[in-house]
Amino acid sequence: MTDLTRIDVAELGRLLTAGEVSAVEVTRAHLDRIAAEDGRLGAYLHVEDDAAVTAATAVDEARARGDELRPLAGVPVALKDLVVTKDVPTTSGSKILEGWLPPYGATIATRLADAGTVLLGKTNMDEFAMGSSTENSAYGVTRNPWDLDRVPGGSSGGSSAAVAGHLAPWAIGTDTGGSIRQPAAVTGLVGHKPTYGSVSRYGLIAFSSSLDQAGPMARTVLDAALMHEVIGGHDHCDSTSIDAPLSGLVDAARAGASGDLRGLRVGVVRELGGDGHTDGYEPGVLARTREAVEVLAGLGAEVVEVSCPSFDLALPAYYLIAPSEASSNLARYEGVRFGLRAGDDGSHDLDDVMALTREQGFGPEVKRRIILGTYALSSGYYDAYYGQAQKVRTLITREFTAAFTDVDVLVSPTTPTVAFPIGTRVDDPIAMYAADLCTLPASLAGLPAISVPSGLSDGLPVGFQVMAPALADDRCYRVAAALEAAQDAARGHRLLDELPTPAGAA
């Protein structure tokens, strides 16, 4: 019998609609896979065993009655654990929210449920999305299915490990500075950060409100586009939501797969791994990036080099802006309204309760960023640090705008290295932050960017990043799909088919 955990979402939707498989069969196959493999991977924090089967049964019964269902009804999905989900444990990877059952659901969770998808569970993550390795979770590390001694990226590492390890056909991640694209890159997946404001943030536990954006993590470009069209679009509950329609993402992915990129101008960003900017980049990553650019040229794209000097300042600017917003957002966790409450024995005043709760509830990286952000916003330092970082953000945005007057998309490696060994960067924050060197510029500018697999280096996946102007997400999907199709055809199979055992075993 065909292993249902290895079938793409698009094909699963077709099989379900045709009645060739049932939603219960598909759901049970993934739950069985989770039970067999997640003890090694640590991808999930919570699994909806009985509830998932109940939801799948309801889909099958509705289909048997002849009810009109959405095309993806019955397809299982996993959600990163900062997506607020009604009556389902939601912790954001933090002890300070351990045991919290939200009384409402995030817009993207509601839209996925309305589409008939079946929630498998909530995935592990760096605490409050602060990290690049999923080692900062309060509930243990997640491991990369390609090599169990290496990280799956972060902060959406639970989602990347679940999808790459066939414990979910697709998943939601969130991206503040690269937390969809970087884990997708190091696990051989497709991960797309949508244009800021094009996917609702309502019900996402906030890290940095001007940067946070949810998006799809999937095994193919088409599957990512299918999810994006389900979750995207205007939401009146989110004041930053853009009131504009999505622009044919699925159609763009299908068109790109035809392999015709004639008339497209591609800009290779010099500052992201180009000549004179290779420090910290692994040779294998740069080689796979050059090969991907050559594939695009072979498909008819015109390739030129583009210089964006302010991109070199993206990392320090980000690590002032994001912690500053985090220090404000995380002030709500005070041990009074919800979550952990420490020192509540009658012998402490409110200030002590708040201090003890935060001491016990927040992990080291969260504390580091709160302190950094509070300092950057403090009197006498605001203009010197936070204000200057915002000026750099403006420069980066202007350089993107200038570049897109000459080219249609910009490309680069997604991350400078392949997945690094667990434990090697936990005591070196600067080295950890460097994992996001290539993803930060698009985040600061609020632009769409996608990571698509571009081969292996030393047996581990390499990601290739495509960036586009605001609301031109369709360009990302078109170019990524063209590269995906060409490279799969050249190797005769998909990259994930090279995933080694035991984590890759059926």
- As annotated, the active-site residues are 80, 155, 179
Instruction: Estimate to the nearest angstrom the gap between the alpha carbon of 174 and the chain centroid.
Output: 4
Backbone angles phi, psi at 265, to 5 degrees: -105, 125
Secondary structure, 3-state, 35-92: HHHHHHHCCEEEECHHHHHHHHHHHHHHHHHCCCCCCCCCCEEEEECCECCCCCCCCC
Could you list the beta-strand ranges (E) of 310-425: 409-413
> What is the token pair recorded at 153?
């990226």
For 416, 417, 455, the CA distances from 284, given in Å and listed in that order, are: 10, 8, 10
* Helix, strand, coil percent content, the chain, rounded in steps of 5: 45, 15, 40
CB atoms within 10 A of CB 383: 10
Cα 448 from Cα 194, distance rounded (Å): 5
User: How many whole angstroms from its chain centre is CA 373?
Assistant: 23
Joined tokens for residue 253? 């992915």
Mention every residue, 6+ apart, whose C-beta is less than 8 A from residue 140: 42, 124
As a whole number of angstroms, the distance between CA 385 and CA 23 comes to 53
Closest residue by Cα to residue 217 from 208, 207, 209, 226: 226
Contact assessment for residue 410 and residue 267, using Cβ atoms and an 8 Å cutoff: yes
CA–CA distance, 38 with 244 (Å, rounded to integer): 39
CA distances from 220 to 94, 110, 254, 260, 337 (A): 31, 23, 11, 18, 42
Is 243 within 8 Å of 234 (Cβ atoms)?
yes
Residue 331's nearest CA partner among 192, 119, 128 is 128
The rounded distance, in Å, linking the Cα atoms of 212 and 485 is 30
Rounded CA-CA distance 43/62 in Å is: 31
Q: Which helix (H) or strand (E) holds 398?
A: helix 388-403
Instruction: Label residue 435 exposed, middle or buried (CB < 10 Å: 0-12, 13-18, 19+).
Output: buried
Q: Is 273 left (phi over 0), alpha (psi -120 to 50) or beta?
A: left
**Pairwise CA distance, residues 192 & 114, whole Å:** 22
